[in-house]
Amino acid sequence: MSLAKTQATLETLRNETLAKVAAVTDLNSLNQIRVEILGKKGPITEVLRGMKDLSAEDRPKVGSFANVIRDEITAAIEARKTDLEADALNEALAKETLDVTLPGAQVKQGTRHILTQTMEEIEDIFVGMGYQVVEGFEVESDHYNFERMNLPKNHPARDMQDTFYISDEILIRTHTSPVQARTMEKHDFSKGALRMISPGKVFRRDTDDATHSHQFHQIEGLVVDKNITMGDLKGTLEVVMKKMFGADRKIRLRPSYFPFTEPSVETDVSCFKCGGAGCNVCKYTGWIEILGAGMVHPDVLQMSGIDPEVYSGFAFGLGPDRVAMLRYGVNDIRYFYQNDLRFLEQFKGE
């Protein structure tokens, strides 16, 4: 091949290759062009191999021209590679960009159950008065649930608190009162008076209706020390009811019967809606029954190793489900246990 023809072939090759390189849009295709044109089997290598047929005079000219063309093509491929890599990076960055100004996906926020909120509020009031909060067992023995509460086997008052039995001796507790016995038998009076409350779930074989549930909650309260009187009980309950239902609430104690307290009382609070005049909340009596209470029976103290000649105490058992019903105007206790969000969501941030 003549010098002129070889140079023309190389120029055509350069022009065609530079056009291809400019048109290529991905790194793979670019690499293919590099291998095809600059590789060992490519046209440039072929030209260099054919130099042996040229005259000694033309050989260096073709050699240096071929090198110039190869350098130009190599430089064009490198430049295009840099561009394509930058494009790929920009594209990836654009795809992965997190727009922090976009509104986030809404997370549905729950709230504590209204019964939990009510119980915690009552706990806070008692803790503020120096009471300790004690946890009891939901699965109890007949011994603590009944016998230590002065309800021996076959006592007629057991009928009012029938429950679910796991065995003859093991049951799910009917009230939080067994925590009284468990706490009294461990208390060390040399360290001061016993003042405790115990909130928790209780269970009864009650038929569910608007004001009864087979599972509900109680908060037990117990104070034992020397010289504790009914006056202490009434004063304590009055403070708590005023905090729960408003500063002008009054307390009324009515005689009642519990085997574990003597005397025993039902405690009413003056109606927070009508102030005592009579309305639908208080069933037109002016008073709302809130809890059972009384002076701890001497036998109950004795069974827990406490000398009733030296110590006395008061106890009460309050139903927070009923308190929440009254406070929030809920007319059916079953709403608390149905887990219907339309009901529960009404008590967000109470």
Give the binding site for ligand FA5 (CB under 6 A): 175, 177, 204, 206, 212-213, 216, 218, 220, 258, 261, 291-294, 315-317, 319, 321-322, 333
Q: Which is nearer to ligand FA5, 17 or 177 (CB)?
A: 177
Strand arrangement of the beta sheet that strand 215-225 belongs to: 132-133, 194-203, 215-225, 312-318, 287-296, 261-270, 251-258
Smallest separation, CB 244 to ligand FA5 (Å): 13
8 Å CB contact between 285 and 273:
no
CA separation, residue 104 to residues 97, 107, 180, 268 (Å)? 15, 9, 51, 50
Which token pair is 15? 């022009």
Smallest separation, CB 222 to ligand FA5 (Å): 8
Q: Which is nearer to ligand FA5, 43 or 319 (CB)?
A: 319
Smallest separation, CB 224 to ligand FA5 (Å): 12
Smallest separation, CB 107 to ligand FA5 (Å): 34
Q: Which is nearer to ligand FA5, 39 or 257 (CB)?
A: 257
Smallest separation, CB 136 to ligand FA5 (Å): 12
Amino acid at 70: R
Q: Quote the CA–CA distance of 275 and 237 in Å, as a whole number.
A: 18
Q: Which is nearer to ligand FA5, 212 or 273 (CB)?
A: 212
Omega of the bond leading into 308 within 30 degrees of 0 (cis): no
Smallest separation, CB 221 to ligand FA5 (Å): 7
CA gyration radius for the chain?
45
Q: Which is nearer to ligand FA5, 69 or 333 (CB)?
A: 333
Q: Which is nearer to ligand FA5, 13 or 326 (CB)?
A: 326
Q: Which is nearer to ligand FA5, 58 or 123 (CB)?
A: 123
Smallest separation, CB 161 to ligand FA5 (Å): 6
Closest residue to ligand FA5 in the complex (CB)? 319
Which token pair is 114? 């209204």
Helix, strand, or coil here: 242?
helix
Q: Which is nearer to ligand FA5, 76 or 324 (CB)?
A: 324
Where are any strands of DSSP class E within the chain? 132-133, 139-141, 170-172, 194-203, 215-225, 251-258, 261-270, 287-296, 312-318
Q: Quote the CA–CA distance of 256 and 91 in Å, as a whole number.
A: 81
Amino acid at 95: K
Residues found in the chain = 350
HSE on the CB side for 117, CA within 13 Å? 16
Smallest separation, CB 322 to ligand FA5 (Å): 4
